[in-house]
Every structure is written in structure tokens, then in C-alpha cells.
Structure 1
Amino acid sequence: MLRSEFELLLNETLSPSRFKDYAPNGLQVEGKKDINRVVTGVTASQALIDAAIELKADAIFVHHGYFWKNEDPRIVGMKYRRIAALIKHDINLYGYHLPLDAHPTLGNNAGLADAIGLSCRSALQTGVPIEESIGIVGELEEAMSLDAFQQRVESAVSRSVLFERVSDQPIRRVALCTGGAQGYIEQAVAIGADVFITGEVSEQTIHIAREMGIHFIAAGHHATERFGAKSIAAYLSDECGLVATFIDVDNPA
């Protein structure tokens, strides 16, 4: 597949024009013209690039790419070493941030919601269609005890989670937004969720949860955002005829 065709495929699938994002979505570093082998991952770290080089990948697809707003624009130090490795090995780098969070079937939120068994899904953000909302709300088939729900979430993300329990109330209605979205907890309260799940926690988040009466789970930024890159690899392999491999460069954050 030509490089231009690959980006068109990704843009048609993920619809980046719908989002006002913090980094450019799409091709970020240009490489070879023809793409047959793709590596996907959460972040375009040196470890992921090295793995892609070893696999002789033509392209890397990530959720966290480069050129974020307000970052140092100079290509020096760590950024230079990463980009130099991409250019030396003629590897294309594609980054999709909010579009990968929000996609209703391939996205990070959708993947986490699938893993914990949420149905009847709707947008966390009021007045926004679910395919453009960076958070979602859904229902469990039946209410679960706090212990059982914690075990289900930990199984979904393959690690222990921080769980702030604010009452004995069981859980049925779940709001979630993967990554660093702890600031959306008050929207979860407003929409009537029993629990809010995200990746990270701030000091004030726990006070908000306690005072507003909503259970809160921080399940890891990286852990909650593995779903999208993994789904994209499966999509490119199964639907597009490319050789695509998801590589998980683990990160405890």
C-alpha cells in the first residue's frame, strides 16, 4: 500500500478532522513510499522504534506521537535520536491521539468498555455524538459488588488499580475516559455514573470523589490506552491485508 493510501485509510477510519487536538494527527515523520509491514504501540518511544527496526517495519502507528502543543520545537537530544532513527531506517510515523480515544469500535474507550462488559453506551460529553466524545458511559448487565468490579477492571488492564470507594453502593452505571482524564470526574457525576474510570489520578481527584459520592478508579495511563493500538493492528491485518504487529512497551504509569 502506498504511503498516501495508508494515511487516507487511517483518516477515513478515525476521522481526525472532527477533533481539536493537542498534536498533529496523521503522518508525522515521512518514510518509505510503500507500506506493507506496520508496528503499532501506545507511544513512539525509542524502545518501540527499536522494535520496529528489528521487525523491518515500514511504518509505526501510535497513540502518543510527536510535536505536541507547547513542547520545545527543537529537534535535539532525545527527540533527535528518535527521529534520526526513523529517518535512517526510512520508517513512517503516524500518530492519532483523540481520534483513537473516541472511535466507537477500535478506540481506547471502546476497548476498555468491551473488556469490562458495558452495554447501552452513550457519550460522556453532553451534546456530543458518541463517535466524537472522548469519554463514554455504559451499563453493566447487572449491578456488581465493589470487590467483583475491581477484579473485573484489574483483569481488563492486567494490573492492580487505585480504587477509591466512597460508599457501599454497588456498581451498575460506569463512566470512563482512558489516559489522563481525571478532570472529567465531575461530568461523570453529572451524568449519574456510579464509578468513573480513567488512567491517572491527581490529589484533588480523591477529594472530589469523596465529596460528590462517586467511586473512582485510576487504572494506569498506559494500561488503559493499549486497547486502541492493539485494535488497529488487528484491523490492518484482518481487513487491509497488511502485516501489522502490536508491541506493548510496558509502562507502570
Structure 2
Amino acid sequence: MSTTRQDLLQAFDALLQPARFKDYGPNGLQVEGRLPIQKIVSGVTASRALIEAAIEARADAIFVHHGLFWRGQDGCVTGWMKQRLALLLAHDINLFAYHLPLDAHPQWGNNAQLGLQLGLQASARFGEQDLGFMGARADGSSFASASALAVHVENVLKRSVVQVGKAQGAIENIAWCSGGAQGYFESAIAAGADAFITGEISEPQAHYAREMGVAFIACGHHASERYGAPAVASQVAAQFGLDHQFIDIDNPA
């Protein structure tokens, strides 16, 4: 089975509704490739390693969370940008990228899928553009402590985490927002969270966690965003009867 580039773009846009978001770069088709599409490769970031793996997998399109173009870039096609674009253009591969729309989708997005992996059920949204999710364990239980929650996150995501704040007491209300969402911590506190899970931590959040008695857990930017892209790409591929393959390029950040 195959579809066209335009039909695929319309399907991604219909699902993720990028026009709803004020974002840091263009969402949608970032690099135009061949018209007929039979196979999609999904991944977190449009790195050279992912592009090379997609070429090896004979993909017609790549679907990612982190694309090539961001607000504030100087626009010069040199260095790493030239290398990545040269590969895409030489092999006529389409690149689709969705940033905040992929974070926010209530079922297939990064935050929804991260919650599913961690056994969390969202009951509310918070923060700028309602990107943050708030909820509790899907089975109705609580974590005995922030340390117990941190161990659970480590076991599920298979990587070490950084935990700061709230050493004692049960954890019931959990907020989470994938990637570099440390700036959402204060909104999570205001929303009543006992703990906040995101990808990264910056210097101020350690102090906020200790002073406000709310646990902050940083589990890795890449590790927290491995689930949305394959979930969305899989849904859209199934809609058209296309082949889909998720390729995870390891990243310690």
C-alpha cells in the first residue's frame, strides 16, 4: 500500500492540529521528498544517525518530534545542517516534524504515552498551552515516597533519574511534562502536585523543590519523549496501510 505526501501531511495535521499551538519552529513537512510513500520511519530527533538508519530501512518518510529548523537559527546550510539535508535530498526522503502538537495530543502524544508507560492516568492539564498533565496512578494506589516513584521511573524508562525534594511522605498527585519542561515546575506546584516528572532539571528547580516540599524528578529529555512519535506514526501508517518502523537513536541527555 502507498499514499501521497500531501495525504500523509493532511493526516498528521488532522490528528495533531498544529495551528492550535504557538511553537518554536515549523510543524509539518520540513523537507520535501518523493511523492509516493510506502514506509515511514519514526524517531525522536532528525539526527544524521536517524536519517542514515531510515535510508538503510528504505523509508520514504521520517516522522520526528525534533525537526531541523528552530526559531533563532542563522539560516546557514553548513556543518551538521548541510550533512543532514544532503542525505535527505540525495535519497528523496520526506521529513515530517511536530514539536508541541506531539507533546500535547491527549491520546498519542508524548505526555499521554509517557503517562501510559508509567501507569499514570491524567485527570487535568496545566501550564502554558495546557501541555502539562496532572493525575495519579491508574490503579488508584499511591507511591510510598518520592524515592519509590523515582525507582519506578528508572525501572520503566531504564535509565537513572535525578530526584530532588520531598524526601518523606506518600506521593499521590503527580504532574508530568516530557522533554525540557523544567519551567513548568512552578505551575505544577500551584496545581497541587506532590511530584513533578520531566526530562531535564535546571539550577533553580532544585531550590524550588527543597523549599516547596514537592519532588522534582528529571528522567532525561530523550527518554521521556521516546513514545509519542511511534504512537502517532503507527496510527497514521495504519490508516493508509503503510509500513512503519520506530528507530530509537540512543541519547544520554
TM-score interval w.r.t. the shorter chain? over 0.9
Alpha-carbon distance change, 4 to 238 in structure 1, aligned in 2, over 3 angstroms:
closer
2:160 is aligned with 1:160: yes
Residue from 75, 79, 82 that aligns with 2:81: 79
Measured in 1, the distance between the counterparts of 2:8 and 2:121 equals 32
Query: Residue 236 of structure 1 corresponds to which residue in structure 2?
Result: 236
* Cα pair 2:29 2:95 within 8 Å, conserved: yes
Query: Residue 9 of structure 2 corresponds to which residue in structure 1?
Result: 7
Query: Residue 195 of structure 1 corresponds to which residue in structure 2?
Result: 195
* Cα pair 1:64 1:96 within 8 Å, conserved: yes
* Cα pair 1:57 1:91 within 8 Å, conserved: yes
SS in 2 for 1:171: coil
2:208 is aligned with 1:208: yes
Measured in 2, the distance between the counterparts of 1:74 and 1:104 equals 36
SS in 2 for 1:32: coil
* Cα pair 1:236 1:243 within 8 Å, conserved: no
The Cα offsets for residues 46-97 of structure 1, whole Å up to 9 and x where unpaired, read as 0000000001110000000021000121111110110011000000000000
- How large is the RMSD of aligned CA atoms in angstroms? 1.3
Alignment of 1:56-75 (within 5 A): 56-75=58-77
What amino acid maps onto 2:69 in structure 1? F
Query: Residue 118 of structure 1 corresponds to which residue in structure 2?
Result: 120
Query: Residue 129 of structure 1 corresponds to which residue in structure 2?
Result: none
Question: Could you state the TM-score of these two structures normalised by the residue count of structure 1?
Answer: 0.94
SS in 2 for 1:163: strand
Query: Residue 151 of structure 1 corresponds to which residue in structure 2?
Result: 151
What amino acid maps onto 2:142 in structure 1? A
The Cα offsets for residues 175-206 of structure 1, whole Å up to 9 and x where unpaired, read as 01100010111001100000011100111110
Residue from 105, 108, 112 that aligns with 1:103: 105
Q: Structure 2: where are the runs of 5+ without partners?
A: none
SS in 2 for 1:222: helix
Deviation at 1:155, TM superposition (A): 2.4
Measured in 2, the distance between the counterparts of 1:34 and 1:2 equals 5
2:134 is aligned with 1:137: yes
* Cα pair 2:102 2:110 within 8 Å, conserved: yes
Deviation at 1:240, TM superposition (A): 3.2
SS in 1 for 2:13: helix
Measured in 1, the distance between the counterparts of 2:210 and 2:142 equals 21
SS in 2 for 1:39: strand
What amino acid maps onto 1:133 in structure 2? D
Q: Structure 1: where are the runs of 5+ without partners?
A: 127-131
